[in-house]
Structure 1
Amino acid sequence: MTSTGSILVVDDDPAICVVVGEALRRQGHKVKTASSIRERSALIDSFAPDVLITDVMLPDGDGLEGVADILDRKPGLSVIILSAQNTLNTAIRATEKGAFEYLPKPFDLNELSRAVGDALGMNKAEEGKQEDAGLPHDGLPLVGRSPAMQEVYRTIARVLSNDLSILVLGESGTGKELVAEAIHGLGQRRTKPFVAINMAAIPRELIEAELFGYEKGAFTGANVRTAGKFEQAQGGTLFLDEIGDMPMEAQTRLLRVLQSGEVTTVGGSKPVRVNVRIIAATNKDLPKLIDENRFRQDLYYRLNVVPISLPALRERREDVILLAKHFLERAAQEGLPRKTLADDAAQLLMAYHWPGNVRELQNLMQRLAVLSRENVIAAEVLRNSLPLDLVPSDYTAPADQLGLAVREWAKRQLGIGIGQPNRNLHDDMLAVVEPILLQETLASVDGNQIRAAGLLGINRNTLRKKLTDYGLDPLQLRVSD
C-alpha cells in the first residue's frame, strides 16, 4: 500500500509551488501552497499537514526561524527544507532546527518525492501502521537539477494552466516526449488521453489518414471507419513528434485543422469538432526549413507559441551522475540486479560527450545492470561499454569532476597518513589547489592584481602575500600577445 498524506509547500517562486504541488497531487497527496511565513503559520494550524516543505529565503523572513517552535507544537510533522544557499552552514542549521531532510536548490523532483515518501513512512510507523513508505516517483518524468533543466521546469509550470501550443526543441534522445508527458500529466487535461504520433515513422502517403482518420472504402484496405489521432486525443493532448519531417501537403491540412478546430476524415465530407492541446517537437532547424520552402512559416508560428529548448546531455554534465543513478534504481525496481557506480566510473561518465544524450545513458545503465558481473560498476567495465573516443580532446573538466578528483586525493592521503596524526590535510590540499587557482586567475587578467583579487574575492594585500608564500611572480603570469 502506498503512503499518502497532506503536504504544505512554502516557496515564493510560483513555478516551484505549481510543479511540486501538481506532482504531489498526482501521487494522491492533499497539497496546499503558501508563499510566506505568515501564510505558512496560518496553514500549519488550519490545514494540519503531515509534511512541511519550506524554502529558507521567504519574503517576510528566514524560513528556518520558527521551525523548531512548529515542531514543538506539532511533534508528528516532518519538515523538508529547500534552499538556494547551498552551504554547509545552511545544512547544519536545518539539522539543528529538527528538519527531517535538507535539499539544496536546484533540486530534482524525484529526489524530493523520495524524501516525502520517507517522511510519511516515518509518520505512519510512529502511528503503529504497517504501510509501505514508498511513493510512485513519476511526479515529473524528468530528472535534473542543472540550471538548464530548472528553466525547463519553470516553463512547464507556466503552461500547465493554459492550452497554448508548445514546440519542444532539442537533439534526439534529450527527452522531448517526456516534456510533453509532463505537461499533460500535470496539466488540466491529465484525465483525458495523451496521444503521440511520430511523423518520421509514418509513410508520407499515410500521415493524413493517421492524423485525421478515414472512412470505410476511402482506399484499399479501409474496411471500417477509423478515428485519427485528433479524435483519439479528444479533450486531451496530441503530441506531434518530429514535426520537421512532415510533408508540405500534410502541413497545409494540419494548419487548417488548427485554425478551424475541425477535422475531416480521408474520404469523408462531414467535419468533426475536436478539442485537443497541441505539443510538437523536432530536432530540426525549422527556420532553416522555412527558408528552404520545406516548412510552412504560418504553421511554425501556430506551433511555436511557447518554445521549450532541451539541452543536450553534454551541456548539463552536472546531471549525468544523477541520471545514471536514477536509471540504475529504476532498473532495480523493474527486477534487474541492483548496481551502484564506483567513483572512477562516475568520472568516465562525466567525461564522455554523450552523442545519444539521455537515451544513450539510459540504455547503457540498463545494459550494465544486466551484464555487469559485479554489484559495483567500475571504470574498466565502462571502458568496454563506451566508444573509444571517450574523452574529447577539447573537453574541460566541470566542477563536479573537480570534486571527484579532490575526493580521490583525500582518500589517497588518508591512506598514506594512517599513523601520522599531526598531518595537516587542509593545508596540503590548499598547497596543491590554490597556486593553480592564483596562476589561472592572474593569467586571465594579464597579471592585473587588483582585478585578480576582485575575481578571487580577497583583498590585494592578501593576494600579494599568497603569491609570495607560493613563490609566484605575477609578471610571469601575463598572457603573451
Structure 2
Amino acid sequence: MTMAGRILVCDDDAAIRTVVREALRRAGHTVETAANAAELRRAIRNFRPQVLLTDVILPDGNGLDLVPELLADNPHMPIIVLSAQNTFTTAMRATEQGAFDYLPKPFDLGELMQAVDDALAQGLSTGIEDDAPAGEDLPLIGRSPPMQEVYRTIARVVSNDLTVLVLGESGTGKELVARAIHDFGPRRRAPFVAVNMAAIPRELIESELFGHERGAFTGAAQRTAGRFEQAQGGTLFLDEIGDMPMEAQTRLLRVLQSGEFSPVGSARAIRADVRIIAATHQELPRLIGDGQFREDLYYRLNVVPVLLPPLRERGSDIGELARHFLDRAAANGLPRKQLDPPAVARLERHSWPGNVRELENLMRRLAALTRDAVITQALVEQQLGLGAQPPMPAIAEAAGLGEAIEQHLTRHFAGYGGTLPPDGLYDRILAEIERPLLRLTLAAVRGNQLKAARLLGINRNTLRKKLTDLGVGPAVRRSE
C-alpha cells in the first residue's frame, strides 16, 4: 500500500508542478509546490516535507548544488532530482550530492510515484566525499532512454559492494562502465585491476588470478602476486568471463563464497578484499545449457546486471558521441574537425557492428586522414568503405519475422556440416527470440516492468523470471 506523506515539488515549469501535484494528491499525499530556490527554502521551513522532488535548473539556482545544503539541515528528507540534462554526469552528481534518486525528463509518472513511495519507506543520510571525480570528461556519453537506465543503475550501485555483471556486445564500453563504478565509489583510492579472461592461456589462469609461490610449477622462480592480491581494497574487473575455463570457474566460485583465496602452491589463505565486476558479450544462460559455464557462478556474478545497448539501438546518441571523439582526437594532437548535419545523419543510419569502438576508430581516422575542416557525408561513406552504395535498408523493407527466423535456422543447421546441432535447440532458439523482445520492450517503457508485462500480455512475475533466466538486465531499484 502507498504510504501517505508530505511531498514538496519544486520546478519552474507550472505544467509539471500541476501534473505531479495532482498525481501525488490522488495517491493520498499532502503536496506543496515551489517555482524557484527561494520558495523551496521557505516551503521546507514551513511545510517540513518528508520527500522533496526538485528540478536541476531553477531560475535562481541549481537544484543539484542545493542538495548538500538541504540535507545538512534535513538529513532524513530524501531528495529526488528531476532533470532534462540527461547525462551520465548529472546522474553521478545527483548520487554524489546525496540525492535519493534521479529521474530524467521526460519521466514516467508511474515510475515517479514508485520513487516517492520508496523514498517515504526508507530514510536517507548519505555523506559527500570531496575527492569525487569532477566528471567533465566521462567516457559514458548519451541521452537516449537505454543509456538513462544504465546511468541510473550505476548511480545506485556505486556506493555499495554488490557484484555487477555488465552485459553487451563487443565494443559497447563494458570496461568503461566498470571503471565508472570504481571511480565514483568508496574504493576509488584503491587499484582498479582489469583482466581479460580470453587473453590468458588456460593453464595460466589460476596463477594469473591468485598468484603463485616460488617453485609452485616449472618456471616459477619467485613468488608472484595475482590479480586478486593486486586489487586488494579496490575493484577487480573480470572481462570476457564467459571464456573462463570450467576448472578456473570452480576456483573463482569458491573465492566468492568464502571471501578467501590461496596462491598456487600455497596453503595460506588470503582475505579477498575486492569488489568484483564481470563482463561478457556472450549469452551465459546458453553457455550454462551447453555445459560450458557454471550455473551457480552465474548467479553469484549476476547480482546486479547492467545491460549495455548496442549502438544501433541508441541512434540519437551517435552525433554526440562522434563529436566527443573528434574533440578527444584534437586533444591528442590530431587536426580539429567538425561534422556537417548530413554526415551525422549518415552515421545514424549505419548499422555499427563494432559499436562505440567502431565509431571512435572512424572519427580518429577521419580526423587524421581528411584534409577538410568539415567532415561531409561523402567523406564518412568513403571511410566506411561504402562509396556510392545505398544506405542500410529501413526496417520496414526487411523480411518478415518468420522468413528471418527461417533464414537464421537454415544458416544454423548448415553451420554443422550436415550433422545435427547439440540438443536443446528449441530452448536456445526461443531464448534468441525472447531476449531482444524483452530488452527492446523494457527500453520502450523505460524499464517499467509493470508496463512491459502489460504490453507483452504476460504476468509480471513471469516477466521477472524470464528476465532472470535470460540474463536480461531490468532496472534495479534501491530496495533491491
Query: Structure 2 CA distance, aligned partners of 1:331 and 1:390?
Result: 29
Query: Structure 1 CA distance, aligned partners of 2:181 and 2:88?
Result: 17
Corresponding residue for residue 109 of structure 1: 89
Corresponding residue for residue 393 of structure 1: 393
Query: Structure 2 CA distance, aligned partners of 1:62 and 1:181?
Result: 28
Is residue 214 of structure 2 the alignment partner of residue 228 of structure 1? no
2:166 is paired with a residue whose SS is strand
Corresponding residue for residue 175 of structure 1: 173
One-letter amino acid of the counterpart of residue 316, structure 2: E
Report the aligned-residue RMSD.
3.3
Is residue 199 of structure 2 the alignment partner of residue 213 of structure 1? no
Q: Say if 1:237 and 1:60 are closer, same or farther in 2 by CA, change over 3 A.
A: closer
Q: Say if 1:313 and 1:61 are closer, same or farther in 2 by CA, change over 3 A.
A: closer
Q: Say if 1:140 and 1:390 are closer, same or farther in 2 by CA, change over 3 A.
A: farther
1:338 maps to which of 336, 339, 349 = 336
Q: Is contact 2:238-2:278 (8 Å) kept?
A: yes
Corresponding residue for residue 25 of structure 1: none
Q: Is contact 1:36-1:60 (8 Å) kept?
A: no
Corresponding residue for residue 271 of structure 1: 269
Deviation of 1:63 after TM superposition, in Å, equals: 7.6
Q: Say if 1:335 and 1:206 are closer, same or farther in 2 by CA, change over 3 A.
A: same
Deviation of 1:395 after TM superposition, in Å, equals: 4.2
Query: Structure 1 CA distance, aligned partners of 2:56 and 2:140?
Result: 28
Normalised to the residue count of structure 1, the TM-score between the two structures is 0.58
Stretch of structure 1 that moved more, 380-389 or 313-322: 380-389
Q: Say if 1:137 and 1:378 are closer, same or farther in 2 by CA, change over 3 A.
A: farther
1:385 is paired with a residue whose SS is helix
Query: Structure 2 CA distance, aligned partners of 1:80 and 1:376?
Result: 38
Deviation per CA, 1:367-404: give whole Å up to 9, x if none. 1111110110111111111143663223469xxxxxxx
Deviation of 1:188 after TM superposition, in Å, equals: 1.1
User: Superposed, which structure 2 residues align to 1:229-378 within 5 Å?
Assistant: 229-378=227-376
Deviation per CA, 1:103-129: give whole Å up to 9, x if none. 84434538999xxxxxxxxxxxxxxxx
Corresponding residue for residue 439 of structure 1: none
Query: Structure 2 CA distance, aligned partners of 1:39 and 1:305?
Result: 40
Query: Structure 2 CA distance, aligned partners of 1:164 and 1:112?
Result: 17
Q: Say if 1:138 and 1:80 are closer, same or farther in 2 by CA, change over 3 A.
A: same
One-letter amino acid of the counterpart of residue 109, structure 1: T
Deviation of 1:273 after TM superposition, in Å, equals: 1.1
Corresponding residue for residue 191 of structure 1: 189
Q: Is contact 1:351-1:395 (8 Å) kept?
A: no
One-letter amino acid of the counterpart of residue 246, structure 2: M
Q: Is contact 2:89-2:136 (8 Å) kept?
A: no
Deviation of 1:244 after TM superposition, in Å, equals: 0.3
Q: Say if 1:346 and 1:258 are closer, same or farther in 2 by CA, change over 3 A.
A: same
Q: Is contact 2:34-2:40 (8 Å) kept?
A: no
Q: Say if 1:215 and 1:44 are closer, same or farther in 2 by CA, change over 3 A.
A: farther
Q: Using CA pairs below 8 Å that are at least 6 residues apart, which structure has the higher relative contact order?
A: 2
1:221 is paired with a residue whose SS is coil
Q: Say if 1:38 and 1:195 are closer, same or farther in 2 by CA, change over 3 A.
A: farther
Q: Say if 1:254 and 1:285 are closer, same or farther in 2 by CA, change over 3 A.
A: same
One-letter amino acid of the counterpart of residue 180, structure 1: A
One-letter amino acid of the counterpart of residue 393, structure 2: S
Specify the structure having the higher radius of gyration (Cα). 1
User: Superposed, which structure 2 residues align to 1:89-108 within 5 Å?
Assistant: 104-107=84-87
Gaps of 5+ in 2: 1-9, 12-31, 43-50, 66-82, 94-132, 398-480
Q: Say if 1:80 and 1:395 are closer, same or farther in 2 by CA, change over 3 A.
A: farther
1:347 is paired with a residue whose SS is helix
Q: Say if 1:148 and 1:63 are closer, same or farther in 2 by CA, change over 3 A.
A: closer
Query: Structure 1 CA distance, aligned partners of 2:374 and 2:223?
Result: 55
One-letter amino acid of the counterpart of residue 318, structure 1: S
1:384 is paired with a residue whose SS is helix
One-letter amino acid of the counterpart of residue 381, structure 1: L
Deviation per CA, 1:323-349: give whole Å up to 9, x if none. 000000111112211000012211110
Deviation of 1:139 after TM superposition, in Å, equals: 5.8
Q: Say if 1:112 and 1:330 are closer, same or farther in 2 by CA, change over 3 A.
A: farther
2:383 is paired with a residue whose SS is coil
Q: Is contact 1:211-1:229 (8 Å) kept?
A: yes
One-letter amino acid of the counterpart of residue 278, structure 2: A
Deviation of 1:221 after TM superposition, in Å, equals: 2.1
How many residue pairs get matched?
Answer: 303
Deviation per CA, 1:223-279: give whole Å up to 9, x if none. 111100000000110000000000000000000011111111111111111110000
Q: Say if 1:264 and 1:320 are closer, same or farther in 2 by CA, change over 3 A.
A: same
Query: Structure 2 CA distance, aligned partners of 1:358 and 1:338?
Result: 20
Q: Is contact 1:177-1:241 (8 Å) kept?
A: yes
Q: Percent identity?
A: 59
Q: Say if 1:333 and 1:230 are closer, same or farther in 2 by CA, change over 3 A.
A: same
User: Superposed, which structure 2 residues align to 1:65-144 within 5 Å?
Assistant: 70=60, 104-107=84-87, 109=89, 138=136, 140-144=138-142
